[in-house]
Amino acid sequence: MQLKKLITALALAGVAAMGSAAHAMVVEDAWTMTAGGTTTSNIGHVGLNGGVATVTQQIGPGGTPFVGAQFQEFGNIFSLNYVTENVPGFGDFGFPQSYAQPLDGLRFVFTGLSGVVTAYNALTGGINYAFTPGIGSIKLQATTDGAATWVDMANLSMRSPSGGDLADFNGRNQTLGQSTLLLQFDSFMNGFQLDLDGAGLGYDSASDLFLQVQTTNKISNPFTFSGVCSFNQAAFCATGKVTSDGSGDLLKIPEPGSVALIALGLLGMGAISRRRISRAV
């Protein structure tokens, strides 16, 4: 009887693992990107440079943010280079590389991203914020003519958890902050494709893939009163500019099939054991 209980518990644990694994994500390594008519292989992770965002932040009567205050932003991250995979596993390092020609540039363009303030320190001016999932537009674009023209490669959307902080909302230039964003690929366009190298590392659709982006942010134009908020005519806003640099890693939702097989195997073991126990009795 104790053996039967143990096997049943293992089987149930396998089913539970299958459910949780569907929502877990793993970092991909040594992946390949096709864009702009060329293919670049052995990508470890991407470097993001030259980001500039215009942020419109709702403020209270005192001219400062408050918990629950909305914000909206648009802008771009101009330069996306890559670091090659040079250590097995997630341990890449080195200088950013250029993509295979004729591709000579990638950028993110984002419009209408939205979120709310989650914490505000009136003494230091420190602010924490969270992006609202699914709001706004994020496009990955490529150029093959030195940025004279850009072509859409992929649509992405903001997912939770995504957010960050600034050390002092009312601070001067170069006030520091950090952001961590989870971006989901919604669709590929114009020949764009991501290939995950290695056996068993495929995916079913673009939406199985994510980019986890981490940036260091600086205030380049301090926030100043700008009048009625464009997104809320009953509120007032301050507008400023923030620059950012950082890195991004490709993530994937694991295929549930392998986990499902483990769970089914455990259930099968339970059935066999029950037959053996009944025969012994």
Q: List the Cα angle 32/36/40 in 5-degree steps.
A: 25
pLDDT at 18: 36
| pLDDT at 155 exceeding the cut of 90 | yes
Helix (H) or strand (E) holding 3: helix 2-21
Q: Single out the residue of 112, 90, 105, 79 nearest to residue 43, CA to CA.
A: 90
In this prediction the pTM is 0.81
35, 103 contact by CB (below 8 A)? yes
pLDDT at 89: 80
* 105-112 mean pLDDT: 96
Rounded alpha-carbon distances, angstroms, from residue 86 to 29, 33, 116, 166, 199: 10, 17, 39, 34, 19
pLDDT mean across residues, the chain: 84
49, 55 contact by CB (below 8 A)? no
What would the pLDDT profile of 223-261 be if each residue is shown by its tens digit?
999 999 999 999 999 999 999 999 999 999 876 554 444
Q: How far is Cα 213 from Cα 134, in angstroms, rounded to an integer?
A: 16
The number of helix segments (H) and strand segments (E) in the chain equals 2, 12
Q: Of the given ranges (4-13, 101-110, 221-230), which has the lowest mean pLDDT?
A: 4-13
196, 208 contact by CB (below 8 A)? no
pLDDT at 277: 37
238, 225 contact by CB (below 8 A)? yes
Q: Single out the residue of 47, 144, 154, 77 nearest to residue 105, CA to CA.
A: 144
| pLDDT at 136 exceeding the cut of 50 | yes
Structure tokens at 181: 């964003």
- How crowded is residue 69: how many other Cβ atoms within 10 Å of its Cβ? 22
DSSP bridge pairs for 137: 111
What would the pLDDT profile of 13-66 be if each residue is shown by its tens digit?
443 433 333 357 888 889 999 999 999 999 999 999 999 999 999 999 999 999
Domain residue limits, the chain: 1-24+256-281, 25-253
Q: Report the percentage of the chain scoring pLDDT > 70.
A: 80
Q: Which long-range contacts (CB under 8 A, 24 or more apart) does 92-97 make?
A: 92/29, 92/44, 92/45, 96/47
251, 28 contact by CB (below 8 A)? yes
DSSP state at residue 231: T
Helix (H) or strand (E) holding 73: strand 70-84
Structure tokens at 65: 């943010």
| pLDDT at 152 exceeding the cut of 90 | yes
E-state strands within 85-198: 105-120, 127-131, 137-143, 151-166, 176-188, 193-196
What would the pLDDT profile of 172-195 be if each residue is shown by its tens digit?
767 789 999 999 999 999 999 999
Structure tokens at 242: 């923030």
Q: Report the percentage of the chain scoring pLDDT > 90.
A: 67
